[in-house]
Structure 1
Amino acid sequence: MADINSPNRSSLPSSGPSSAKPGANPLFLREEELRQGIEMLFFGYRDFISEPDRILADRGLGRAHHRVIYFVGRYPGATVSSLLSILQITKQSLSRVLSQLVEEGYIVQRQGASDRRQRLLTLTEKGRALEEQLTETQRQRLARAYRQAGAEAVEGFRKVMLGIMSDDEDRSRFGATKRRP
């Protein structure tokens, strides 16, 4: 097992043409830089969700509840089917979380007007208040990081995040074209 304090500085073998500009230094593709990127994603996500986790824990809720509340708030009237597609979880998992959120008064379900089998999801006033509280802590953290980094870095971050996403439908939500092979 590698010592966390003694990084491996080896570079990755070349696997074909580089997407870097001619003359550009591809040091960002070295093993150590890639591993640091992985760690930064872990640590960034840990800190990004720390305050929402505390708020949720005080209510007996967890991260799965947070994701459902966020996306129902972001897309009012979303169907259960569309939520399953976004979250990439099983019907059983969503059903457990959604049932609790409905029982506790955070979400209401209504039948679809054209298809009565559809269940349309909307946040209640209580759900909107919780979603706003959770999102505000994350919005502030992201706004601070964006201000410190500047516009060019924010655009670079956006490109990196789109490059990490593998689903073209998810990428299209942000105006991205299909992923290149």
Structure 2
Amino acid sequence: MAEGAGGQSLLFLTDEQLRKGIEAMFFAYRGFTADPDRILAEKSYGRAHHRAIHFIHRSPGTTVNNLLATLGVTKQSLNRVLRSLIEDGLVESRVGRSDKRERNLYLTTTGQELERELSDAQRERMRAAYRTAGPEAVAGFRQVLEAMMDEDMRRQYERLTEGGRK
């Protein structure tokens, strides 16, 4: 049986232990998004812009439909975000080579610079947290996150991470 800090069994968590984990996740998410939020606010962008930039960077040439599936947002919402990113010169939309109806999305040089600034801020926060927690906690944290994903999300995540392992 797995034992946690203070000898508490990880197989039989109390509601109070789960509540503490949920609250820790809320506050950790606030910290994780705080730096990018400040950077985005200066440009009048929000988290939806950040997510689009992140996944276009991870999969250059991705289609609008692929991005819709990855982000799990409405077409209207994504179109609004993409329109502003394209108009501001951060994203380029190209006609598909095999299917002229498709639009392939790429970050421009300016988009790549913003993506790097946003990612650097989050990587630094993750790096500091991982150093503090140690390698076993890092592996356990990733396992917990992956276990919380719905099956479809996990497949998308695995495709993305398998295609981009470095």
Contact 1:76–1:122 (Cα < 8 Å) also in 2: yes
1:151 partner amino acid: P
Aligned twin of 1:32: 16
After superposition, give the CA deviation of every residue in 1:89-123 in whole Å (9 maximum; x if it has no partner).
Answer: 00000000000000000000001111111100000
SS in 2 for 1:86: helix
Offset at 1:171? Answer: 4.4
1:94-105 matches, cutoff 5 A: 94-105=78-89
Work out which of the residue numbers 154, 160, 169 in structure 1 matches 2:138: 154
Offset at 1:27? Answer: 6.9
Aligned twin of 1:169: 155
Q: TM-score, normalised by structure 2?
A: 0.88
Aligned twin of 1:136: 120
1:6-155 matches, cutoff 5 A: 25-26=9-10, 29-155=13-139
Q: Which structure carries more helix by proportion?
A: 2
Offset at 1:169? Answer: 1.5
Distance in 2 (alpha carbons) for counterparts of 1:36 and 1:124: 42
SS in 1 for 2:100: coil
Q: Once superposed, what is the RMSD of the aligned Cα atoms?
A: 1.8
2:114 partner amino acid: L
Contact 1:28–1:34 (Cα < 8 Å) also in 2: no
Sequence identity of aligned pairs in percent?
Answer: 51
Contact 1:69–1:131 (Cα < 8 Å) also in 2: yes
Aligned residues: 155
Structure 2 unmatched ranges of 5 or more: 3-7
2:61 partner amino acid: G
Contact 1:106–1:123 (Cα < 8 Å) also in 2: yes
Offset at 1:150? Answer: 1.2
**Higher CA-based Rg:** 1
Structure with more contact order per residue of length (Cα contacts < 8 Å, sep ≥ 6): 2
Structure 1 unmatched ranges of 5 or more: 1-19, 176-181
Contact 1:107–1:122 (Cα < 8 Å) also in 2: yes
After superposition, give the CA deviation of every residue in 1:13-54 in whole Å (9 maximum; x if it has no partner).
Answer: xxxxxxx56xx8247611111001111111001011101101
Structure 1's consecutive aligned runs of 4 or more residues displaced over 2 angstroms after TM superposition are: 24-28, 170-175
